[in-house]
Amino acid sequence: MATAGKTIKAELLKHLRHAILTQALAPGADLDEASLSEQWELSRTPLRDVLRQLAGEGYVEIRENRGARVTEMTHRSLHDFFMAAPMIYGAILRLAAHNATPTQIEVLKSAQLTFKTALRGGDIAARALANNRFHEITGDMAGNTYLMPSFQRLLIDHARISMTFFHPRDQQNTQNLDTASQQHDAIIAAIEAGDAEAAGDLAVQHWNLSRNNIELFVTPKGLDLPLGLAMPA
């Protein structure tokens, strides 16, 4: 029974992460513990263990006497996202170039193949999740205890935002997605070569591409955000 309980908890964690990243559970949505407990046949104690783990990873917020809700995406959090993203991505890719193992590089190459396959398909969630997985692996490569919590939180919101622009809305966006894939290939090459400077430069280029898509499809008109801040050379 203990093993079965662990399996259910693992499946619920996977399910909730997926639902949050793809916005099947919208930012700010309340999580109904009673319904989750009944649906997944989990008692409240293991269910709350799951929610606490998700809170630690940045997927949900647990409010005293009010339960858990999906982490919100507000004007303030978007402001912080734009401020932090180029710096964090740059640091992660520089460290990845220093620290990546041959096994991790092969895993990254496999993730890139999955991303390319997803781009050819019509599943928007698959594209966003494949991109998220690619960058998760670079975080594993970087292996920095202090950076990882911030990077994980960044990836959650980037994946949620990506649900708006991993869509072939027009020719320009299709070209942007092709460019993103090409940049992934260049990132792999820089990491494999151990070229931290090139990896850092690519982080800025890759962020700028994402930023342009975000500005086009997400940023509310009139919202005064300091967009485009780049990692210092």
59: phi then psi, degrees, rounded to nearest 5:
-80, -35
Model confidence pLDDT, tens digit, residues 133-192: 999 999 999 999 999 999 999 999 999 988 865 555 555 566 878 899 999 999 999 999
Look at residue 161 and tell me if it is in a domain.
yes
Q: Do 178 and 83 share a structural domain?
A: yes
End position of a domain, from candidates 48, 70, 92: 70
What is the C-alpha R_g of the chain? Answer: 18
The CATH number for 40's domain is 1.10.10.10
Q: In the predicted model, is pLDDT for residue 229 greater than 60?
A: no
Answer whether 96's CB lies under 8 Å from 165's CB: no
* The token pair that represents 63 in the structure block: 């409010």
Look at residue 14 and tell me if it is in a domain.
yes
The CATH number for 102's domain is 1.20.120.530
The rounded mean pLDDT for the chain is 87
Mean of pLDDT values over 90-94: 98
Question: According to the model, what pLDDT value does residue 232 have?
Answer: 38
Mean of pLDDT values over 220-231: 44
* The token pair that represents 106 in the structure block: 């092969």
Look at residue 109 and tell me if it is in a domain.
yes
Q: What is the pTM of this model?
A: 0.84
Q: Do 134 and 35 share a structural domain?
A: no
Model confidence pLDDT, tens digit, residues 105-116: 999 999 999 999
Mean of pLDDT values over 71-78: 87
Look at residue 20 and tell me if it is in a domain.
yes
Q: Do 113 and 12 share a structural domain?
A: no
* Segment holding 8, helix H or strand E: helix 2-21
Higher pLDDT, 121 or 32: 32
Number of structural domains (the chain) is 2
Q: How many angstroms separate the CA atoms of 43 and 186, rounded?
A: 47
Q: Do 60 and 80 share a structural domain?
A: no
End position of a domain, from candidates 70, 91, 120: 70
Q: Do 82 and 62 share a structural domain?
A: no
Domain containing 18 equals 2-70
Q: Do 93 and 204 share a structural domain?
A: yes
Q: In the predicted model, is pLDDT for residue 227 greater than 50?
A: no
* The token pair that represents 39 in the structure block: 């649906």
Q: Do 120 and 105 share a structural domain?
A: yes
Q: What is the DSSP string of 26-64?
A: -TTPBP-HHHHHHHHT--HHHHHHHHHHHHHHTSEEEET
- Residue 138, Cβ neighbours under 10 Å: how many? 26
Q: Do 64 and 82 share a structural domain?
A: no
Q: Do 164 and 135 share a structural domain?
A: yes
Give the residue from 232, 211, 221, 184 showing the smallest Cα distance to 81: 211
